[in-house]
């Protein structure tokens, strides 16, 4: 509950929406699904937040063992999250690099200094009313399959 309040206060104090082009989204684990996140979804996210300049962790749901639940696109979290977490599949992981204009701006708050770029490692745990994909076929799995295929080819060559 403390983190929900913390992020809600931070979202309320966030300023500006003009730097959307500076939001960087890296998909670190992709998942195929029929239903992706959209504005208005109640989602559950695990995350770790660090400061862009120092790498210092300022918050993490993983430490509490409980994902953060919020409504996507409703202004309950910072603008960088509302934009950067759209079109995700359950089980997908992303790293968001969020400029201060889409985070807490020149005000800063708590352990976050004014003008800070924030980096969030995020994982979509759930979307209310949506079943998770039956089988994840993300990029991590594709790499493992490729390595297994190579190992299998070597085994056949030796026969």
130 vs 127: CA distance, rounded Å: 5
Q: Give per-residue pLDDT as tens, 2-42.
A: 444 445 444 444 444 444 459 999 999 999 999 999 999 99
Asked if the structure places residue 8 within a domain, the reply is: no
Total number of domains constituting the chain: 1
Catalytic residue among 41, 78, 119, 127: 78
Catalytic residue among 41, 98, 104, 112: 104
Q: Is 41 a catalytic residue?
A: no
Q: What is the mean pLDDT of the chain?
A: 83
Which residues constitute the domain of residue 91? 24-127
* Burial class, 87, CB count within 10 angstroms (exposed 0-12 / middle 13-18 / buried 19+): exposed
Asked if the structure places residue 88 within a domain, the reply is: yes
Q: Give per-residue pLDDT as tens, 74-111.
A: 999 999 999 999 999 999 999 999 999 999 999 999 99
Coil/strand/helix, residue 22: helix
Could you tell me where the beta strands, DSSP code E, fall in 30-102?
A: 42-51, 57-60, 68-71, 93-98
Could you tell me the CA-to-CA distances from 126 to 57, 68, 103, 145, 146 in Å, in that order?
24, 10, 23, 26, 28
Question: What's the CATH code of the domain at 120?
Answer: 3.10.50.40
Q: Is 6 a catalytic residue?
A: no
Compute the CA torsion angle 127, 35, 133, 89 (nearest 10 deg). -70
pTM for the whole structure = 0.75
Asked if the structure places residue 103 within a domain, the reply is: yes
Q: Is 104 a catalytic residue?
A: yes
Asked if the structure places residue 50 within a domain, the reply is: yes
Q: Is 120 a catalytic residue?
A: yes
Asked if the structure places residue 108 within a domain, the reply is: yes
51 vs 29: CA distance, rounded Å: 22
Task: Flag whether pLDDT at 131 surpasses 80.
Answer: yes
């Amino acid at each position: 509950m403390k983190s929900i309040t913390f992020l809600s206060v931070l979202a309320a104090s966030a300023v500006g929406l003009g730097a959307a082009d500076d939001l960087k989204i890296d998909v670190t684990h992709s998942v195929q699904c029929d239903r992706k996140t959209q504005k208005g979804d109640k989602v559950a996210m695990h995350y770790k937040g660090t400061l862009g300049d120092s790498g210092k962790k300022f918050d993490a749901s993983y430490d509490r063992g409980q994902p953060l639940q919020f409504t996507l696109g409703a202004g309950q979290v910072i603008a960088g999250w509302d934009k950067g977490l759209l079109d995700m599949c359950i089980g997908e992981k992303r790293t968001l690099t969020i400029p201060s204009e889409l985070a807490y701006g020149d005000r800063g708050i708590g352990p976050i200094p004014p003008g800070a770029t924030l980096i969030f490692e995020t994982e979509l745990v759930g979307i209310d009313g949506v079943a998770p994909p039956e089988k994840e076929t993300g990029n991590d799995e594709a790499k493992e399959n490729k390595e297994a295929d190579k190992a299998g080819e070597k085994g056949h060559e030796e026969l």
